Amino acid sequence: MSTSGLPSPDDDFPAWYVEVVRRAELAEHGPSRGSMIIRPHGYAIWELTQRALDDRFKATGHENLYFPLLIPMGLLSKEADHVEGFEPQVAVVTRGGGEELEEPLAIRPSSESIIWNTYRRWVQSYRDLPLLYNQWANVMRWELRPRLFLRTTEFLWQEGHTAHATSDEAMAEALRMLDVYRQVAEDVLAIPVFPGRKSPGERFPGAVETFTIEGLMRDAKALQCGTSHFLGQNFGRAYDVTFLDADGHQEHAWGTSWGFSTRMVGATIMAHGDAAGLRLPPAVAPIQVVIVPIYRSDDERASVLATADGLRADLATAGIRVRLDDRDQHRPGYKFAEWELKGVPVRVELGPRDVAAGRAVLVSRLGGDREEVALADVATGMVGRLADIQAALFADAIAFRNANSHQITSFDAFATGLDEGGGFWTGAWCGNEECEAEISARTKATIRFLPIEPREPGSACMHCGRPGVDTATWARAY
Amino acid sequence: MSTSGLPSPDDDFPAWYVEVVRRAELAEHGPSRGSMIIRPHGYAIWELTQRALDDRFKATGHENLYFPLLIPMGLLSKEADHVEGFEPQVAVVTRGGGEELEEPLAIRPSSESIIWNTYRRWVQSYRDLPLLYNQWANVMRWELRPRLFLRTTEFLWQEGHTAHATSDEAMAEALRMLDVYRQVAEDVLAIPVFPGRKSPGERFPGAVETFTIEGLMRDAKALQCGTSHFLGQNFGRAYDVTFLDADGHQEHAWGTSWGFSTRMVGATIMAHGDAAGLRLPPAVAPIQVVIVPIYRSDDERASVLATADGLRADLATAGIRVRLDDRDQHRPGYKFAEWELKGVPVRVELGPRDVAAGRAVLVSRLGGDREEVALADVATGMVGRLADIQAALFADAIAFRNANSHQITSFDAFATGLDEGGGFWTGAWCGNEECEAEISARTKATIRFLPIEPREPGSACMHCGRPGVDTATWARAY
């Protein structure tokens, strides 16, 4: 136990995670299996992430729409790999309006089936393409070992679904959206990620290629942060979405889909947190600055609170998300610990002597360094100060990730290194799925990604010794 | 049929509505019963409405959170009136993860039950109150006679759920949020509404009072546009949400809930549309200004498109949602009709002679008046022009609503007037539920609202002749 009352993240990271989520009031378990109640502090992080994504979707020409929650089972089943991948996880509605339904309805585990079934009506000519659509939605995949934010039966996400006239255009779209995800992970959530391609065994059900961004959490385990799929013509064929091209030929449409979910709130906790709790990137911190007034007498209280409220107004005017913590029932030390736990990037302490001297004390959640700043300069300097903290969190995460990214020199070095310190391990792979499965069985690691373009390593597979055909990066992962 | 190809709204309003929704690409039916696919043009109206609501919720101190979609049936049943009201409409999940569930799960028809069951853990002391929370969510109420936007099995909405230490505070909250709804209906959607109180028979299941805002559609039928409920201690008792007040007494918490849904997209269509299609209030028009270039030769095309694109950039910089319709495959006349159908408030026509003269022709969707404006002035004047259109639409709707609001002089005049022209009818009511039911059976009208504070009419009930105890406003309604 540290002074925060949290389990130590170094000693027991899973216990630390559970306690941070609970005590920082981010989320809790709901009454039905695997469900999650997202509390306001957790939901606000998601809202800010949503806004960052949505702005970028619109800037790249996408529009939002909304498809129904319930998908007739017969419709879900048309793409064989897709249904095989999802059927075991599906929740099924069998009664509605007091009657047994003739056809059971699946709660969407993902919406390719219902969307492509509709695209058939929306697409006739190449002039109708591309369709560049996204929806914000809840989805459900039955989960036996739930973990808040990371693995829950219901989760919130966006799912993009696009249709194109050519393979090249669809592939460019899948990679464009992967890069949008990389931008949001890195520039907004301050989580450095490796973009890459999944091995065939890790592909989305029904996809020709699955692209991923992979981050590293503070326990040196990897987390898949977002995926973008090149669907080829698989859904175009399964749902008979055809169009007349400019030459008058009938073709099946090419597709992509891509998703980013509330799991990323969990990633933000696990990529930045420390012994005192959350460290939130200012870009998604629901409260960026908290002002904690310090006083003893009623006279002091009046004077300090008046100055604090002026400061709050200045910061709000500067576009900062600021909270003045004027609760009387708690001591300043209690408040310091609470806002550290909740990850607020900057704390402003203001006592009677500060007011008299026309200054405040600013404390960064990173490192905890204290700085006296003239009251008049607090608001004007805050945007830059928050940008510095955002950059410092990202630099810190990059340094950690780089220190935990290794080249594989031998299978034994890889297996031992994984046991000792986790991290990413990159080396030559033969491309054989059985070899991949054997390595996973022996190490509990999986291929997190291959390079976007296959890269011949020029050396033998680190496990089976056959010629290497691609360069795989492995890790133990969530 | 008018030139728009739409059924006449005067002759067959329901057919006009169906065709406008379809041809303006707002929504369509989904594959499962009563479900709806909200297309981009319809969804964008909802997104703009959401933003207007959400900004006001936050400005009044509310935070967003998210509760699970699925509610164990046993939990839903704890408040007797609540479950009685909703059980017949509930969709039930009985299988998950390939197995029959031990306890069936309801898809939320509304979230009071799961939320108050959780508030029990969040509330101990009066210091924990009020809880001022809202969620954006999909809900499901089985629907046998679906109508796009107005009545669908699944719909999108927000549901606010607040808990308070006193009855007065909860009542003030319910009325405050009713006024937020009034503001959004009137100032954003340009739909004038009457705020009022529902008669006991029309209350939300489990509420002590239900407040409503009621609008009038162009066929002179009323539409309930949003409701806010004072729950008293009903849910506090049913879910055992208690707190210690400042004097150390254990009390049950007082509650409110309030909801505003995608039904309001339907209201916006029906309150403003005309024979040519939609007329969208600029505040929620996904495209506020469309530029239609006019040209014959390639030379003309190059010059007109260059000027049009400059104008588009100027308008975008001024914060206007603008589209340049540069599709080559359609003639200008086709485009004019399409954007009128889709309700774009201002059309800018630009031909070679306009370019030469340094001007454009602006056509308002209201009235269709044409005005020549110097190119340099188009963007600078557009914000004011859109505000004028917003105000004119609202004034037009108020005039229509007022012309169709009547005082009841006798039951016969009321019944005849309803048959001849619909509208709102206000008169003395005895307060008796049987009398209310008899009037409804005879007229197909319902009490849309009573005054927020009961108002003794000083005259006899217009139907039964007993003493009037309140003043009821009746209408045929959606």
pLDDT of the residue at A144: 87
CATH code of residue A439: 3.30.110.30
Q: Which tokens hold the place of A216? A: 């590293």
Q: Please check whether residue B1 lies inside any domain of the structure.
A: no
My answer on whether B244 and B142 are in the same domain is yes
- Counted domains in chain A: 3
Q: Search chain B and give the residue with CA nearest A43.
A: B65
Which domain CATH number covers B197? 3.30.930.10
How far apart CA A41 and CA A342 sit, in angstroms, is 8
Which residues on chain A are in Cβ contact (under 8 Å) with B144? Answer: 97
**Residues of B with Cβ-Cβ distance to A28 under 8 angstroms:** 118
Instruction: List helix spans (H) across B198-250.
Output: 234-238
> Does residue A73 share a domain with residue A193?
yes
- The reply to whether A329 falls in a domain is yes
Cα–Cα distance between B149 and B146 in angstroms, integer?
9
d(CA B466, CA B460): 6
Q: Contact B40/A105, CB-based, under 8 Å?
A: no
User: What is the token pair recorded at B58?
Assistant: 């936050």
What chain B residue is nearest to A65 in terms of C-alpha separation?
Answer: B40
Question: Could you tell me if residue A26 is inside a domain?
Answer: yes
What is the enclosing helix (H) or strand (E) of A102? strand A99-107
**C-alpha to C-alpha distance for B22 and B5, rounded to whole angstroms:** 12
* Residues A247 and A327 placed together within one structural domain of the fold: no
Residue B2: its pLDDT value, please?
52
Q: Please report, rounded to a whole number, the percentage of residues in chain B having pLDDT higher than 90.
A: 95
Q: Is residue A287 part of a domain?
A: yes
Contact A64 B71 (CB under 8 A): no
Q: Which residues of chain B does A137 touch, with a Cβ-Cβ cutoff of 8 Å?
A: 138
Please report, in angstroms and rounded to a whole number, the separation of the first and last CA atoms in chain A: 25
Give tens-digit pLDDT for B59-109: 999 999 999 999 999 999 888 888 888 888 999 999 999 999 999 999 999
| Minimum distance, in Å, between the CA of residue B316 and any CA atom of chain A | 13
- Taking residue B44's Cβ as centre, other Cβ atoms within 10 Å add up to 21
pLDDT in tens, B121-167: 999 999 999 999 999 999 999 998 999 999 999 999 999 999 999 99
Q: Are A224 and A212 in contact (CB under 8 A)?
A: yes
Residue that is last in its domain, among A336, A366, A399 = A399
| DSSP-derived pairing of the beta strands B193-197 and A254-261 | unpaired
CA-based nearest residue to A475, from A418, A392, A412, A391: A418
How far is B350 from B290, CA to CA, in rounded Å?
11
Looking at chain A, which residue has its C-alpha nearest residue B328?
Answer: A127
- In-domain check, residue A7: no
- Asked if omega into B130 is within 30° of 0 (cis), the reply is yes
* Domain assignment of residue A184, yes or no: yes
Per residue in B21-32, pLDDT (tens digit) is 999 999 999 999
From the list A32, A39, A143, the residue facing B65 with the nearest CB is A39
Which residue, among B266, B270, B285, B265, has the nearest Cα to B385 in the 3D structure?
B285
Amino acid present at A297 = S
B25-61 per-position pLDDT tens digit:
999 999 999 999 999 999 999 999 999 999 999 999 9
Cα(A445)–Cα(A222) distance, integer angstroms: 10
* pLDDT classification of B374: cutoffs 50, 70, 90: very high
User: Could you say which of B114, B133, B143 has the minimum Cβ distance to residue A40?
Assistant: B133
Whether residue A181 contacts residue A213, with contact meaning beta carbons closer than 8 Å, is answered with yes
Q: Which residues in chain B have Cβ-Cβ distances shorter than 8 Å to A42?
A: 65
CA–CA separation, B114 and B340 (whole Å): 45
Co-location of B156 and B258 in the same domain? yes
Question: Distance between CA atoms of B373 and B163, rounded to whole angstroms?
Answer: 54
Least CB-CB distance to B96: which of A30, A65, A142? Answer: A142
| Record: contact A32-B89, CB cut-off 8 A | no
Say if the Cβ atoms of A68 and B117 lie within 8 Å: no
Regarding whether A415 and A394 lie in a shared domain, the answer is: no
Torsion of CA B75, B134, B225, B472, to 10 degrees: 70
* Tally of CA atoms within 13 A in the half-sphere of A43 that contains its CB: 18
Nearest residue to B478 via CA among B444, B451, B431: B444
Q: Are residues B256 and B321 in the same domain?
A: no
The domain spanning residue A329 has which CATH number? 3.40.50.800
**Contact list, A30 vs chain B (CB under 8 Å):** 67-68, 114, 118
Assess whether pLDDT exceeds 80 at residue B213. yes
- CA distances to A198, A203, A454, B383 from A450, rounded to whole Å, are 6, 12, 7, 51
Q: Reduce the secondary structure of A279-315 to three states and give it as a string.
A: CCCHHHCCCCEEEEECCCCHHHHHHHHHHHHHHHHHH
pLDDT digits (tens, 9 = 90+) for B391-402: 999 999 999 999
Mean pLDDT of chain B: 96
Q: What is the pTM of this model?
A: 0.97
Residues A419, A372 share a domain: no
Q: What is the pLDDT of residues A407-428, one digit of tens each?
A: 999 999 999 999 999 999 999 9
Q: Is the dihedral of CA A29, B154, B149, B214 positive or negative?
A: negative
Report the alpha-carbon distance of residue A286 to residue A273 in Å, rounded.
16
The answer to whether B363 and B294 have CB atoms below 8 angstroms apart is: no
Structure tokens at A86: 């999802």
For B196, the domain range is 13-272
Q: Do B40 and A97 touch (CB under 8 A)?
A: no
SS3 A163: strand
Pair A386, A470 in one domain: no
Helices (H), ranges, A111-262: 112-122, 167-183, 234-238
pLDDT value at position A82?
A: 80
- Looking at B272, B300, B318, the residue that finishes a domain is B272
Domain assignment of residue B6, yes or no: no
Q: Do A375 and A417 belong together in one domain?
A: no
Contact A159/A135 with Cβ under 8 angstroms? yes
pLDDT tens figures, A42-78: 999 999 999 999 999 999 999 999 999 999 999 998 8
Question: Which residues in chain A are contacts of B62 at CB distance < 8 A?
Answer: none
Question: At how many degrees (to 10) do helices B13-23 and B263-272 cross?
Answer: 120
Q: Confidence class of residue B192 from pLDDT cuts 50, 70 and 90?
A: very high
pLDDT tens per residue across span B308-365? 999 999 999 999 999 999 999 999 999 999 999 999 999 999 999 999 999 999 999 9
**Using an 8 Å Cβ cutoff, are A344 and A403 in contact?**
no
Query: A69 and A51: one domain?
Result: yes
What pLDDT score does A3 carry? 61
Q: Report the relative pairing of strands A36-38 and A27-29 from DSSP bridges.
A: antiparallel
Task: Say yes or no to pLDDT of B180 above 50.
Answer: yes
Quote the tokens at residue B358.
């340094």
pLDDT tens for chain A, 478 residues long, are: 456 789 999 999 999 999 999 999 999 999 999 999 999 999 999 999 999 999 999 999 999 999 999 999 999 988 888 888 888 899 999 999 999 999 999 999 999 999 999 999 999 999 999 999 999 999 999 998 999 999 999 999 999 999 999 999 999 999 999 999 999 999 999 999 999 999 999 999 999 999 999 999 999 999 999 999 999 999 999 999 999 999 999 999 999 999 999 999 999 999 999 999 999 999 999 999 999 999 999 999 999 999 999 999 999 999 999 999 999 999 999 999 999 999 999 999 999 999 999 999 999 999 888 999 999 999 999 999 999 999 999 999 999 999 999 999 999 999 999 999 999 999 999 999 999 999 999 999 999 999 999 999 999 999 999 999 999 999 999 9
Domain-ending residue, one of A272, A300, A316: A272
DSSP A78: S
Q: Are residues B157 and B287 in the same domain?
A: no
Q: Are A194 and A473 in contact (CB under 8 A)?
A: yes
CA dihedral A249, A253, A254, A255 (to 10 degrees): 170
Distance CA B34, CA B155 (A): 10
B294 and B171 co-located in one domain: no
The pLDDT of residue B1:
41
Q: Is residue A301 part of a domain?
A: yes
